[in-house]
Amino acid sequence: MDITIAYQRAVQTYHHKYLALYHALRDAILNGSLAGGTRLPSSRDLAVMYGISRGSVAAAYDMLLAEGYVESAVGRGTFVIEQTAMPSAPSPIGQQSPNPTSAKPKTPALSAWGQRIMQLEKERELPSSAFAADSDDAQQSLISFQAGEVVLEGSSQHAWKSAMAAAGKDLQKPSSDSATAPVSGDAWLREAICQHVGRTRGITASPEQVVVCSGSMEVITLLCQLLINEQDHIVLENPCYSGIYRAVTAAGGQIQAAELNQQGIIPQDWDSKLLFVTPGRQFPTGAVLPLARRQQILQWAVSRGAWIIEDDYDSEFRWAGRPIEPLKALDRTECVIYVGSFSKSMFSSLRLGFAILPAALAQALTAAKRLYDPLPPARMEQRALARFMMRGDYARHLRRMTRIYRSRYDVFQREMKQLSGLFHWHQTDCGLHVYAMWKHEPASYHHLMQTALSYGVTWRDAADYQLKPGPPSACFIFAHLTEQQIMEGAKRLRQAWDSIKHQ
């Protein structure tokens, strides 16, 4: 059967075709255009009707089915379910009931925290990776220097499978502590983390000081809720990771933007009790904070009675030189909270992060985490990672990946040198991305971004990380790409710029 729905209007709002189709169908069901019992066209017929793929139709139908708008039977088709009308509130005596189609129901008020969360959501922009999202061929050909999926390969993959199998056996033993697993994380993993940071980062810690969470952003968000009062002044690097900005803002903190130069954050006597900093490799610029500035920051924290949250987000991969000690290793007054993650060093879907804190604050963080996760998540993955680390597989994996990423970085550096007239590239001896500042006027930068997208190459606009407007800059993440993809991406970028010059 043929049906008419407001699909074209929905496409203007929802950039993915399956989402537009889902909303158009759902709205038609809710407003009665598609009555209960109506049989919907087959995925093939509807795809032809609106010029979209059968996969998009199937995805829209699956969403409607999961949310109870339709029912499906093999051999019969997909049918709209009868919708039960919501009762309207009775009208006062002597007054007519309002027109139900024009009355707007009152929305329950959100808390101040909830309102800030919704405002932050509105401010988020659609990623440029939405390039030809509904075209499988175009999506496959896109070279994206934005964050990509990092996966285990070769011997690391085999070792991880072995660790997962052993973890499964551990947790099924009658003597397993699964029923009383600590909210702060698997005891084996917390011990393994202490050994690892002691050996590689010079940090002395006990398992009682370690709290494992579902990624570093959960750690940071919980710490913001624990440490920030409404209207507190909080110091953030400018630019910085946007997730930290959102967590601080949602908690009611007032941002103080700390300026940077080529050596990282410039210490000041900030009127604040909390500083977020990335001294090992500033995000996103890649600047490494020298020892003298680290000591100045620690002295500031002592004089102000302030906390420092140190995000050591990608210290594991270094191409040359000896890493400077993190603030936590220099801390003698327990004012530094050290945050780390395994999502980049292992694989993207392993959402495990951790914090190393003074014992009293570790207890508070554990109590806050218990509200969200009464039982520790990813128990098997936590135990598997502990085994992976304790057997030496993690160290071998890091050495192997460092060689691979170094090779990719060398290719990236070689290929992008041909664009030195466009960008000022920040040199780095570690990390998985390269920061670059645009050398020309802002309009030409945005023109290049749009043109490059048409050539099938994109990158992260570093404006996403700026706390206040600044010169155009870019982040090129290369770790998830092969050397051939990096070369192809650089080639397309050069072609895009050449096409602009000849316009």
pLDDT of residue 136: 42
Question: What span, in angstroms and rounded, lies between the C-alpha atoms of 77 and 44?
Answer: 12
| Integer Cα distance of 64 and 443 in angstroms | 43
pLDDT in tens, 213-240: 998 999 999 999 999 999 999 999 999 9
SS3 content of the chain, % helix, strand, coil (to 5): 45, 15, 40
Q: Which two tokens stand for residue 2?
A: 């043929």
**DSSP of 277-291, one letter per residue?**
E--SS-TTT-PPPPH
d(C-alpha 219, C-alpha 309), whole Å: 10
**Residue appearing with tokens 């170094």:** 406
Q: Which residues in 243-275 are b (16+ Cβ under 10 Å) and which e?
A: ebbbbbbbbbbebbebebeeebbebeebebbbb
- In this structure, are residues 448 and 497 in contact, taking their beta carbons and an 8 Å threshold? yes
Look at residue 105 in the predicted model and tell me its pLDDT.
Answer: 56
How far is 78 from 72, CA to CA, in rounded Å?
4
**323: burial class by Cβ within 10 Å (0-12, 13-18, 19+)?**
middle
Confidence grade of residue 365 (pLDDT, cut at 50, 70, 90): very high
pLDDT-based confidence at residue 106 (cuts at 50, 70, 90): low
Residue 92 pLDDT more than 70?
A: no
Peptide bond into 127 cis (omega under 30): no
The neighbouring-strand residues paired with 437 are 424, 473
Could you give the strand order of the β-sheet that contains 473-477, starting from the edge strand earlier in sequence? Answer: 143-145, 457-461, 473-477, 433-438, 423-425
Tell me which long-range contacts 374-378 makes (C-beta under 8 A, separation of at least 24): 374/183, 375/181, 375/183, 376/181, 376/182, 376/183, 376/184, 376/185, 376/186, 376/212, 377/214, 378/214, 378/351, 378/352
**Residue predicted with more confidence, 316 or 187:** 187
What is the per-residue pLDDT across 1-58, written as a single tens digit (0 to 9) for each? Answer: 667 888 888 888 887 888 889 999 998 888 888 888 888 988 888 888 888 888 888 8
Q: Which residues pair with 79 in a beta bridge?
A: 39, 71
pLDDT of residue 128 exceeding 70? no
- Alpha carbons 14 and 59: distance in angstroms, whole number: 14
Is pLDDT at 249 greater than 60 in this prediction? Answer: yes
Compute the distance between CA of residue 227 and CA of residue 361 in angstroms, rounded to an integer. Answer: 10
The mean predicted confidence, pLDDT, of the chain is 86
Residue type, 194: C
Instruction: Quick: pLDDT tens for 255-290.
Output: 999 999 999 999 999 999 999 999 988 999 989 899
Which pLDDT value is given to residue 419?
Answer: 83
Percent of the chain with pLDDT over 70: 89
* C-beta separation of 177 from 375 below 8 A: no
Report pLDDT digits (tens) over 190-215: 999 999 999 999 999 999 999 999 98
Are the C-beta atoms of residues 355 and 311 closer than 8 Å to each other? no
Above 70 in pLDDT, residue 129?
no
Q: By the 8 A CB rule, do 478 and 412 touch?
A: yes
User: What percent of the chain has pLDDT above 90?
Assistant: 52
Q: Flag whether pLDDT at 465 surpasses 60.
A: yes
> How many angstroms separate the CA atoms of 381 and 161, rounded?
11
CA neighbor of 62 nearest in space, from 93, 25, 99: 25
State the pLDDT confidence band at 451, using cuts at 50, 70 and 90. very high
Phi, psi of 18 (to 5 degrees): -65, -35
Taking the C-alpha atoms of residue 277 and residue 61, their distance in angstroms, rounded to an integer, is: 46
Please tell me which of 336-340, 371-375, 463-467 the model is most confident about, judged by mean pLDDT.
336-340
**pLDDT-based confidence at residue 300 (cuts at 50, 70, 90):** very high
Q: Where are the beta strands (DSSP E) in 440-481?
A: 457-461, 473-477
Higher pLDDT, 2 or 453: 453
Q: Provide the token pair at 258.
A: 């700390």
418 contacts: CB under 8 Å, gap ≥ 6: 490, 494
- Give, for 148, the enclosing helix (H) or strand (E): none
- Answer whether residue 401 shows pLDDT above 50: yes
pLDDT computed for residue 10 by the predictor = 85
Structure token pair of residue 137: 């061929």
End-to-end CA distance of the chain: 49
Structure tokens at 90: 């009775």
Helix or strand or coil: residue 84? Answer: coil
Domains annotated on the chain, with CATH: 7-80 (1.10.10.10), 130-148+404-501 (3.90.1150.10), 154-395 (3.40.640.10)
d(CA 305, CA 299): 10
Structure tokens that stand for 35 in this block: 């009555």
| Residue 177 binned pLDDT confidence (cut-offs 50, 70, 90) | low
Q: How many CB atoms lie within 10 A of CB 225?
A: 16
Strand, helix or coil for residue 100? coil
386: its two tokens: 């502990």
Helix (H, G, I), strand (E, B) or coil at 185: coil
- The answer to whether 324 touches 288, Cβ cutoff 8 Å, is yes
Confidence of residue 189 (pLDDT cuts 50, 70, 90): very high
Does residue 80 contact residue 70 with C-beta atoms inside 8 Å? yes
Residue 288 to residues 164, 283, 402, Cα–Cα distance (Å):
36, 10, 19
